[in-house]
Amino acid sequence: MKTSAMGPSGRMAARRAAKGSVTRGAARARLTARGVIYLLIGVLALRIAFGDSKQQADRGGAVAEIAHEPFGAVLLWALGIGLAGMALWQLSEAVFGSVGPDGGKAKQRLPALVRCVFYAFVAYSVLLFAAGAGDGGGSSDEQSRDVTAKVLGMPAGQWIVGIAAACVIGTGVWIGIRAVRRDFHEDLKLGEMSPRARRLVDITGVGGGVACGLVFAAAGAFALRAAIRYRPDQAKGLDDTLRSFAGTPFGPWLLALVAVGVALFGLFSFALARWSRL
């Protein structure tokens, strides 16, 4: 009579393998969905740079753009499910900890929980839009102004907005520095990549990271100015921040350059989904 060859330790290993497979799948879905959004935002910003100012260059605009494409409804459902995968992956890291020696510490779990809430909100708005209701998350500019106005009305509101803005600026600088130093190599399976793939990943990682860092820093600077002047209407979301580059002495060419960088970050996200150490 045959008995099961898999004992308790074998079943435990099988469960860990299954959990790891699900986690890796959710992570790849997260990175792919992020890549789609950033790629579309970059394309929309390029259109604005060359005179097409009808569409919002932010998450809401990207969602609306997908809806207008052939099989747009299917793509929106796929994007929403991918974003939901992001939220679940971040939730698992917040509850069980992430990979690495410090993965179980609060400094890793708390940011994961914040990202979980963010991705859950985005997934909900995208899926609601796919179902025929909602607006895909609305205008990032209106949301930024509304949030800034509410916080400025609180006790010590100027300090709260100012500190948050300084953190956003610091995050942008940090993203740019990490991109220039190619710190993302630590997260990649470089041994599985061809020399050509490495060059392409470096181009997208450096160019995309610097562009996104610049956008973050600019958005933080606008929020800081709004706090100092007590003017919530001067806070800018992603769309207005990108458009502001066209108002510099470099004109629309700077916006076009930043837009290409944002699109490159989308492509870099696809590369992470393929070669990241998950």
What average pLDDT values come out for the chain (278 residues) when binned by 10 residues?
52 51 72 84 83 65 68 76 78 74 68 76 76 60 77 88 90 92 89 91 95 90 90 81 83 89 93 84
Q: Which residues contact 147 (CB under 8 A, 6 or more apart)?
A: 235
Provide the pLDDT for residue 260. Answer: 94
Q: Are 137 and 122 in contact (CB under 8 A)?
A: yes
List residues bridging with 276 in a β-sheet: 188
Q: Which residues of 50-70 are buried (b: 16+ CB within 10 A; e: fewer)?
A: eeeeebbbbbbbbbbbbeeee
pTM of the model: 0.74
Cβ–Cβ < 8 Å for 276, 31: yes
